[in-house]
Structure 1
């Protein structure tokens, strides 16, 4: 009887250890590092599930998921622009979460419907550009107001933007200009702007930060990142381009083949909850959340006050469209100036 009791205790301990081992989650995050870290911490505290978090740009994550198809090293992909999430869904790299999205805003529900449940919208980010007022004054340059302004020769060497191969932000810019001006005209405009670009960065938020620090005069990126820097006291001004602009639908997706599906599903529920999304304000996240109950900042970008295009996520989130545009960018835009890579 005693031996049986000991064996039962050992079995129970083993089952408990197995359950604990199962309560883990590998997350790849395409948001800002501080937001990635805070959410991992909060989720772990609230659920008891251990989170291993790594931060990568959306293009890098898409490449990783393709390389690891059938044997994924991550369980869930959170953040980043929606186009690569749509591509991942269409290629079977992600799986439906079966999370109830009926309480989220319409655009988040549309993302879920578009991907047959494989991606859920978590935020909207409006595309624009930012300039450093002090550097602009020192160089006696006019303030840009439109996309076409960025191609003017007086801005040679003054602009920084990310590389669309690695950055979802920069791909959103590429797709936006194609939708605004038509493909050939957009590529020509991007080449003209490229003649003024001093650096193509890997990260989409890097040009905005460099502008705030005075390392470049103008940076292209998402306006919520710019709001954070302005609120921190940097001498910057935000611009919503006069011709109109595009936007991202940030998303969260569960990776197909994950052995931790239930934990991943809990992550999706958490990052789309009002509590989870409201916490972003603690680290200066000023994008537009998908949960209408989430707290927002009065200085956050407002979709109603910006001239937005009717962004075609189905077309520009398709693999063939993305690959064609990236090929044209490499051939006709990247080499148009003296910009360096970082």
Structure 2
């Protein structure tokens, strides 16, 4: 009898000890950054909070489409990472929730402007400039010249050597499309993209995939965010990052809570946690070399600095607008995508 009572007491004690983790809840997260940082963030958050994270990795364009399709019955609570344009589009479509984090005052001005411009339905978490990374060994073996400008990518010697992502699925590629439109004007940008298509071997789904292919020797060059090229260099691959001489656009990687989120408290907990300086300082450990949005976060020494790059005054409001985005993507499908098939 005493043994049975003791066993029951021990069982009850064990059950009670397990309660905090159960009470912590869960979070359904879509991560639109590189899978390595997605997994690191998920693991760190679970360890710190006890909240179970169900994480799926999807590109920005795919995530926007999924959240829109599920608007009446959301399956996602939090969307972390990926370019800001589709986050802004989701905000303007009323697909995400207004939330003013107590961490806002600690953020860089560009991150605050992203929040203000969206009615506080998204916020900047990191930033990075667009460019490309090329495989120096492949270029050397084939006698190819280092391309320093957008115009250089049209050189006939680069036929079949280039990869970029499809702007319908990839925020990186949409940023490239929107940047070229702002640099050249829309008609000239599409003329450029049609000519560039002759040198493209593949349009990938993911924005970072082209430079990973270059790192593996499957392509000569990938049009990507420069920090994704730097990540491959840090892994030991012969990749050199380039900022285009004519100027280039940049992303403000963003974070949004989905309207109708089932686990709203867990989503807000993630939101505040992801803006902490110590969390953003850890991103470099996953070889993620963006510029962090918290002013006190450590900037990785490898991160391409904005002051060293000729940046355009990227118009986030215009190119994050749903109608503008739709018209540009439809034109890309008509004039570039069909030619690629």
The verdict on a shared fold, with TM-score over 0.5 as the criterion, is: yes
Q: Distance in 1 between matches of 2:81 and 2:251?
A: 10
* Alpha carbons 2:21, 2:50 under 8 Å: kept: no
Q: Distance in 2 between matches of 1:66 and 1:141?
A: 44
Q: Summarize the Cα distance change of 1:141–1:283 in structure 2 as closer, same or farther, 3 Å threshold.
A: same
Q: Distance in 2 between matches of 1:103 and 1:169?
A: 27
- CA-CA distance at 1:233 after TM superposition: 1.9
- CA-CA distance at 1:18 after TM superposition: 11
- CA-CA distance at 1:21 after TM superposition: 5.6
> Bigger CA drift: 167-176 or 45-54?
45-54
Q: Distance in 2 between matches of 1:103 and 1:29?
A: 23
1:283 partnered with 2:286: yes
Q: Distance in 2 between matches of 1:187 and 1:253?
A: 31
* SS of structure 2 residue aligned to 1:296: coil
2:71 pairs with one of 69, 72, 79: 69
2:138 pairs with one of 119, 135, 147: 135
* Alpha carbons 1:288, 1:300 under 8 Å: kept: yes
Identify the residue that residue 86 of structure 2 maps to in structure 1: 84
1:200 partnered with 2:203: yes
> Bigger CA drift: 197-206 or 125-134?
125-134
Identify the residue that residue 221 of structure 1 maps to in structure 2: 224
Matches within 5 A, 1:88-127: 88-100=90-102, 101-127=104-130
- CA-CA distance at 1:188 after TM superposition: 0.6
> Bigger CA drift: 304-313 or 232-241?
232-241
Q: Distance in 2 between matches of 1:317 and 1:217?
A: 31
Q: CA RMSD in A?
A: 1.7
Calculate the TM-score normalised by the size of structure 2.
Answer: 0.92
Gaps of 5+ in 2: 1-11
- CA-CA distance at 1:22 after TM superposition: 6.4
Identify the residue that residue 308 of structure 1 maps to in structure 2: 311
Q: Distance in 2 between matches of 1:279 and 1:133?
A: 29
Q: Distance in 1 between matches of 2:295 and 2:182?
A: 29
Identify the residue that residue 264 of structure 1 maps to in structure 2: 267
1:44 pairs with one of 26, 46, 59: 46
Calculate the TM-score normalised by the size of structure 1.
Answer: 0.92
* SS of structure 2 residue aligned to 1:86: helix
- CA-CA distance at 1:143 after TM superposition: 1.1
Identify the residue that residue 242 of structure 2 maps to in structure 1: 239
Q: Deviations over 1:188-231 (max 9, x none)?
A: 10111111100000000000111111110111001111111112
- CA-CA distance at 1:98 after TM superposition: 2.2
- CA-CA distance at 1:139 after TM superposition: 1.3
Gaps of 5+ in 1: 1-9
> Bigger CA drift: 182-191 or 42-51?
42-51
Q: Distance in 2 between matches of 1:281 and 1:17?
A: 34
Identify the residue that residue 331 of structure 1 maps to in structure 2: 334
- CA-CA distance at 1:296 after TM superposition: 2.0
- CA-CA distance at 1:17 after TM superposition: 6.4
How many pairs does the alignment contain? 326
- CA-CA distance at 1:260 after TM superposition: 1.4
Q: Distance in 1 between matches of 2:28 and 2:257?
A: 11
- CA-CA distance at 1:259 after TM superposition: 2.0
1:54 partnered with 2:41: no
* Alpha carbons 1:25, 1:51 under 8 Å: kept: yes
Identify the residue that residue 253 of structure 1 maps to in structure 2: 256
